Amino acid sequence: MEHLDLDDDSLPDFDVQGLWDRLDGDVEALVRLLEMFQEEFPIRVMELKDSLDRGDLEGASKCAHSLKGLCASMGAEKLRRLMAGAEKDPLSASGDFFRAVSLCFLRFVKISEDLRRRWIG
């Protein structure tokens, strides 16, 4: 799996502007998508981990592919890149991979909570 420097600022944790543009500035839609992502993402990551624990590499690759698309649609670029690596090589999804995913997801949650407070109050 390609090494991903989580402190590399050239790759955004979350492309807020891109998502905002795709939603034509619809705050309600943005809030719904952020909530959906925060609920759905951890569930799908557990499915990926379960597939790996069972030795189901094809299932793990499919889970990673699905997660990659989910992340791309949200502008969660670092997470998307992590999932692209896991899709290509499911065996690379080790403990370090899941720690990196957790860290990126927590950053995403913090950014989305900051946005929610700023736009909704």
- The domain that holds 103 is classified in CATH as 1.20.120
The answer as to whether 30 is a domain residue is yes
pLDDT at 70: 95
pLDDT at 87: 96
Residue 3 has pLDDT above 70, yes or no: no
Overall average pLDDT of the 96-119 stretch: 88
Among 5, 23, 119, 10, which Cα is nearest to 111's?
A: 119
Overall average pLDDT of the 18-47 stretch: 91
Alpha carbon of 48 to those of 87, 96, 101, 105, 108: distances in Å? 10, 14, 12, 15, 19
Residue with the two structure tokens 């705050």: 27
The answer as to whether 6 is a domain residue is no
Give me 80's structure tokens: 């998307």
The answer as to whether 10 is a domain residue is no
Give me the domain span that covers residue 80. 16-120
pLDDT at 120: 74
Contacts of 29 by beta carbon, 8 Å cutoff, 6+ apart? 23
What pTM does this model have?
0.84
- Structural domain total, the chain: 1
Q: pLDDT tens digits for 90-105?
A: 998 888 999 999 999 9
